[in-house]
Amino acid sequence: MKQGVDYYRSQNTEIMNRKHYIYAEDEDGNPIEMEDVYKANNKLPSGFFKLLVDQKINYLLGNPLTFDVDPDDEELEDTLPRTFQKKLKKAGKEASKKAVGWLQAYIDQEGEFGIKQIPSEQIIPVYKVDNQDELELIIRYYKVRALNEDNQVVKVNRVEVWDDETVTYYQENTEDSLYHLLDEQEMKQIFGQPYSNPKYHFQEELRFGDAVEEVEGMGWGRIPFVPIYNNDEGDYDLQPVKRFIDAYDIVNSDFINNLEDFQDVYWILKGYDGENLNEFLQQVKRYKSLKVAEDGDARAETIDIPHEARKEAKEGLRRDIFKFGQGFDPDKVGDGNVTNVVIKSRFASLDLKADQFEDEIKETIKKLVYFVNEYREQQGEQPIELNKINFDRAMMINEVELLEANAQQKGNVSEDTRLANHPWVNDQEEEQAKMDEDREDVVNLDDIGIEDLADGDEEGEE
């Protein structure tokens, strides 16, 4: 997971951790390996992985999802929090970088239904032995600040253990690193109320006016964490392209290193008067001079920088990164005759990857609907049944070509069909209403006589 985050942030570990080594001799003449601190070591991590992840997420989730539900007069969006689409995108990125993302359903202090995204590295899922698709427990751990015996602020682990009704809180001691069950006072510091521990998922208050007469702890009936997997293989998106990205970084960085060092140099020594090769390298690097015997000699043989070979290597690696990463190379947008057929063909690999991820998102949303219906039932509302999830993929199009084709179909298909396929029309019914309104504002001159236009009463009637 950390590696996926590093490459997404262009902190590619392979190139960022790379060191140059030379082989010399110790005092006894034995060969040794040592870091070459004098050789240029530029580190140029590429941003391919971020491009591939953002491309997939914005292609599939860049436009809002819509839902078809029963009954027809209900809308899932009314119960889902306003930030749901944003949380879903964030969890999708998590899944792309870390193989799995996690969403948690909850009810906030105002009694509103909410969904939040939890960092994947904080979650340990425990599945039932007889059903690997059903959670038995969720263990979540994360860092919090606490005061030690010396009244200093230190970071310790807090652990939550979730089942289908309650959550139990533990915290690491600041002295001995053992864990203890939080007491009521500690729970009050966290939640503002002296909850018992274990604590129910949420509570229902029985009120008379502003007074709370009774509080009843309640559970969801399921563990309120829902995974969103990157694919059915459990892989993250870096897996198929990491070695190609590493090779690209090395080729790119070494090209700049060669320019900085001017050229690769091999030394030929004759009658060298130094003690060993290590001393020779230090003299050349530090002092730019060399002491040899009376009949000795030292000369450098150079090798030109292979510009063309490295250029071809970079182009080939770039092609492989987008090919095996199933992405769309933005540098190829303007190549050739860019018709919509060509654009679709260039998006074919991205479509395949998006298809698989779309299936995982659908499964996640279906599981979230269970918690939506549990909340609706508490509010005295009827449950909803999710029939279909509609994705609006953000594919580039040749708009001029589509507009021309749409105009040519006038009279060949119904206006409803033509409007539904018009690239500038998002809401067919709204557009039709606007067109009808425009027609009403048009004055038909055939229905008005010339005398009607010319005549007016004395008060200036037009």
Residues spanned by the domain of 294: 266-303
120 domain-assigned: no
- If asked whether residues 288 and 323 sit together in one domain, one would say no
The answer to whether residue 57 sits within a structural domain is yes
Check residues 343 and 14 and name the one with the higher pLDDT.
14
How far is Cα of residue 322 from the mean position of the Cα atoms in its chain? 17
Do 409 and 388 sit in the same domain of this protein? Answer: no
Q: Are 92 and 101 in contact (CB under 8 A)?
A: yes
- In a domain, residue 209? The reply is no
Instruction: Tell me the pLDDT of the chain averaged across its residues.
Output: 82
**Into how many domains does the chain fold?**
3
Identify whether the C-beta of residue 24 lies closer than 8 Å to the C-beta of residue 277. Answer: yes
Q: Give the containing element (helix H, strand E) for 145.
A: strand 131-147
Q: Which residue has the higher pLDDT, 90 or 177?
A: 90
* Residues 428 and 312 both lie in one domain: no
Percent helix, strand, coil in the chain, to 5, is 40, 25, 35
Is residue 275 a part of any domain in this protein?
A: yes
The pair of structure tokens assigned to 183 is 């007491």
Quick one: 433 exposed, middle or buried, by C-beta within 10 A (0-12, 13-18, 19+)?
exposed
311 and 241, same domain (yes or no): yes
Tell me whether residue 167 is in a domain: no
Q: How many CA atoms, within 13 angstroms, populate the side-chain half-sphere of residue 72?
A: 0
Residue 266, SS3 per DSSP: strand
Contact 149, 175 (CB under 8 A): yes
Q: How confident is the model at residue 337 (pLDDT cuts 50, 70, 90)?
A: low
In a shared domain, residues 320 and 410: no
Token pair listed for 90: 């964030």
One domain for residues 381 and 278:
no
Task: Please check whether residues 337 and 385 belong to one and the same domain.
Answer: yes
Model's pTM, two decimal places?
0.75
Residues 346 and 238 in one domain: yes
25 and 57 part of one domain? yes
The string of pLDDT tens digits covering residues 256-307 is 887 777 655 555 566 655 556 666 666 666 555 556 666 666 666 565 667 7
Quick check: is 129 in a domain? no
Rg (C-alpha) for the chain, rounded Å, is 34
Mean pLDDT for 239-254 is 95
Q: For position 290, what pLDDT does the model report?
A: 57
| Residue at which a domain ends, from 372, 395, 418 | 395
CA atoms within 13 A on the CB side of 269: 13
The predicted pLDDT at position 398 comes to 45
- Predicted local distance difference test score (pLDDT) of residue 227: 96
Residue 213 has pLDDT above 60, yes or no: no
In this structure, are 242 and 284 located in the same domain?
no
- 276/411 same-domain check: no
Domain presence at residue 89: yes
Largest CA distance in the chain: 124
Domain-embedded: residue 117: no
- Return d(Cα 400, Cα 318) in angstroms, integer: 31
Mean pLDDT, residues 105-109 taken together: 89
Buried b (16+ CB within 10 A) or exposed e, 245-277: bbbbbbbbbbbebbeeeeeeeeeeeeebebebb
pLDDT exceeds cutoff 80 at 251: yes
Residue 438, class by beta-carbon neighbours within 10 Å (0-12 exposed, 13-18 middle, 19+ buried)? exposed
Choose between 113 and 132: higher pLDDT. Answer: 113
396 vs 14 pLDDT, higher one: 14
Question: Last residue of a domain, which of 395, 411, 443?
Answer: 395
Cβ–Cβ < 8 Å for 143, 156: yes
Phi and psi, residue 13, nearest 5°: -60, -35
Yes or no: say if 280 and 269 are a contact pair by the CB < 8 Å rule: yes
Whether residues 26 and 106 fall in one domain: yes
Q: What is the pLDDT of residues 307-332, one digit of tens each?
A: 788 889 999 999 999 999 999 888 87
For a pLDDT cut of 70, what percent of the chain falls above it? 75
Q: Of 174, 171, 166, nearest to 182 (Cα)?
A: 171
pLDDT at 117 over 80: yes
E strand spans, 175-306? 179-181, 199-200, 202-208, 211-218, 225-229, 264-272, 292-303
More confident residue, 447 or 412: 412
Which tens digits make up the pLDDT trace of 42-91? Answer: 999 999 999 999 999 999 999 889 899 998 878 888 889 889 999 999 99
